[in-house]
Structure 1
């Protein structure tokens, strides 16, 4: 197994600290349904709050990090993400809850472009090393229901201020990581690093958007779906969320390893093709089998995740911050914009029909991935 250098390892731990708050939003949803009796559209709006602002501002943060070094932004944005979730359960006002979750989304948006730039510099450009950085975020996702469920089960939504603790811990680790990175290089260089291929990058962005619609749609409703399919109340729902997020961690590491043997584009195409029947299983498998297919879909959707990041950086070699902001941020979170429509379908028909409508998107991702070329920029680094 490849040894991870200390700065990348510390940044991965910090990445876990911030992505707990992306996973915390869907983990809080069953409690919002239980305590405040929110419907599908209302909880879809909460998911939208976490993703809409992030989608809008993340390219701006990416452009800024292409021009200026802003390592201080990483711990500051992490604490902002934690503060938003910590405030989300205070009071019982839907608009204030929406605004608190939106604040968390803003923190997440500010974090990813600069953190990804630092991780690329610290890793020497290896997409296998970047998969370890991405793994940190997946672990954060997976920890979210484990952290949220016991706290809110014991104290209800009024206990959300305790959820600020991971932000403090993650921010502290990130400060140590920044001190460890002694030669990350300037945010920009006077010499061109290659040719920015915007048409190909935009096709990659569309692939990530299609993936995002599937993943965020599942994360918003899989807990409620598991409760319907299996029974067992909130606990069953949190187990389904944990399976979804933990499967993502496995897929991220697997993607980095497969890419060294098969290449990034081939690995991506195979993963999206295999996602189609796995998602059918999530929607139609009986009983507890739904958990098995949720895990399988999570692994397959996350196999290309870190590969998206390095591909985007290769397609835009002179705009690493912009590429990172889009591939790690806007294209990932923009799927939340489609979630309210999913909620409407669920209210007009049922949740199974709504989840079944997601099947079109892995098909589109697979078809579009077939048009992407394999860049050569990181092939030497990728083999290390």
Structure 2
């Protein structure tokens, strides 16, 4: 199945819009990543166990996952680009509340508000990237998502440099990041609104239509397979984003700062992998990228628990590069199945990415309290084996 471009006023991707979306994604996810980056600080300050740490992740990721499909469905019917600005207002409130939280319960509320901002941002931004792609869907999603990965990677580094030495209250300094993101989103929304008005006035403009010819049952089956593949990817990734620092500290006795630098490397390389995966998917097909990305992670994941500190760092970088290339292909594959529901699919899959990661983080935390964080990483290494399910995707929908 070939991805069908929307009618746009140029045959080239609208790179200024994609670049602005990518930067907004960077700033949005940078704030999100500050939460898991300061887990060691929060764990000590509130005397938490691993289950309670997992529930913090669950708070902001499930809030986001539950709302994103609903908001995506509503904006499919009536796009509202400026909603992203309002969503960042919730993120700003959550960040300020987290800075001065006096209890664990307040931390959970603050995390939920940050998740709310993300829920508003992703569906509408996904639609904007789709419209600005001019048929280069892999490139467009790669550019958009690289900002998110870069932001998520930068957060732990900033936390190590600023928050860990100065304390939780210094999080409020990053409010300026949210204000900048709000201004950038307002500019992007105005450009997109003008673009949509030009489409409405253009009699030749049309929306994407599905051309794979699959019956509804096959589409639903393919969606279910994609969800399971996303689960395998995000569950394994959750082990790193929430517990990699604890693993490094317990296994090798490294400092909190060094563990956060290594987490930064893991996340930063993921930003490179996501754009590479998107571009390759435009050439060789989405299903091949999904297969290579998820199942290709397996041998490196199995070697990681046996490696020393140096090779742990090397293997984690390789794992991040390979694993991160899957999401853009999974998302585009799903959108190509129902291209008239971009907001719903974008909200659903971004929501599932957050929600499944949050549920996995809580489950992994509970397991770590029982068997130890080192043994958890040994067990989680088998999750990429679920990449074998890629072979069950309908042949008629395997896209380029």
What is the TM-score when the length of structure 1 is the normalising length? Answer: 0.91
**Higher Rg:** 2
Give 1:242 shift. Answer: 0.2
Asked if structure 2 preserves the Cα contact closer than 8 Å seen for 1:275 and 1:300, the reply is yes
- Provide the residue aligned with 1:254 in structure 2: 276
1:193 equivalenced with 2:205 (yes/no): no
Asked if structure 1 preserves the Cα contact closer than 8 Å seen for 2:286 and 2:399, the reply is no
Moved >6 Å (runs of 4+): 189-192, 374-378
Map 1:341-360 to 2 at 5 A.
341-360=363-382
TM-superposition CA deviations, 1:288-342 (whole Å, max 9, x none): 3211111111111111121122111101112111111122222443221122221
TM-superposition CA deviations, 1:327-384 (whole Å, max 9, x none): 22224432211222211211111101112221232111x12222124677974xxxxx
Task: Sort the Cα spacing of 1:191 and 1:98 in 2 relative to 1 into closer, same or farther, 3 A.
Answer: closer
Q: Out of 236, 260, 263, which is 1:214 matched to? A: 236
Task: Sort the Cα spacing of 1:13 and 1:375 in 2 relative to 1 into closer, same or farther, 3 A.
Answer: farther
Q: Out of 110, 128, 131, which is 1:118 matched to? A: 128
Asked if structure 2 preserves the Cα contact closer than 8 Å seen for 1:247 and 1:298, the reply is yes
TM-superposition CA deviations, 1:153-198 (whole Å, max 9, x none): 2320122222222111122122222233331357xx9977226623
1:162 equivalenced with 2:173 (yes/no): yes
1:224 equivalenced with 2:246 (yes/no): yes
Asked if structure 2 preserves the Cα contact closer than 8 Å seen for 1:18 and 1:167, the reply is yes
Aligned pair count? 375
Q: Out of 324, 341, 349, which is 1:327 matched to? A: 349
Task: Sort the Cα spacing of 1:375 and 1:135 in 2 relative to 1 into closer, same or farther, 3 A.
Answer: farther
- Provide the residue aligned with 1:140 in structure 2: 151
Larger displacement relative to structure 2 (93-102 or 198-207)? 198-207
Map 1:1-384 to 2 at 5 A.
5-126=15-136, 127-181=138-192, 182-184=194-196, 185=199, 193-194=209-210, 197-364=219-386, 366-373=387-394, 379=400
Asked if structure 1 preserves the Cα contact closer than 8 Å seen for 2:290 and 2:326, the reply is yes
Asked if structure 1 preserves the Cα contact closer than 8 Å seen for 2:14 and 2:134, the reply is no
Task: Sort the Cα spacing of 1:74 and 1:133 in 2 relative to 1 into closer, same or farther, 3 A.
Answer: same
1: CA distance between counterparts of 2:158 and 2:115?
A: 19
Give 1:282 shift. Answer: 3.0
For structure 2, the 5+ residue unaligned runs are: 1-11
For structure 1, the 5+ residue unaligned runs are: 380-384
TM-superposition CA deviations, 1:58-92 (whole Å, max 9, x none): 21111111111110111221332243133223133
TM-superposition CA deviations, 1:127-176 (whole Å, max 9, x none): 21221111111111111112222221232012222222211112212222
2: CA distance between counterparts of 1:52 and 1:332?
A: 6
Asked if structure 1 preserves the Cα contact closer than 8 Å seen for 2:285 and 2:398, the reply is no
Asked if structure 2 preserves the Cα contact closer than 8 Å seen for 1:125 and 1:378, the reply is no
- Provide the residue aligned with 2:5 in structure 1: none
What is the TM-score when the length of structure 2 is the normalising length? Answer: 0.87
Task: Sort the Cα spacing of 1:18 and 1:192 in 2 relative to 1 into closer, same or farther, 3 A.
Answer: closer
2: CA distance between counterparts of 1:85 and 1:288?
A: 35
> SS in structure 2 opposite 1:179?
helix
Larger displacement relative to structure 2 (241-250 or 284-293)? 284-293
Give 1:280 shift. Answer: 2.0
1: CA distance between counterparts of 2:284 and 2:326?
A: 12
Asked if structure 2 preserves the Cα contact closer than 8 Å seen for 1:205 and 1:326, the reply is no
Q: Aligned-pair RMSD on alpha carbons? A: 2.3
> SS in structure 1 opposite 2:53?
helix
2: CA distance between counterparts of 1:376 and 1:369?
A: 12
Give 1:9 shift. Answer: 0.7
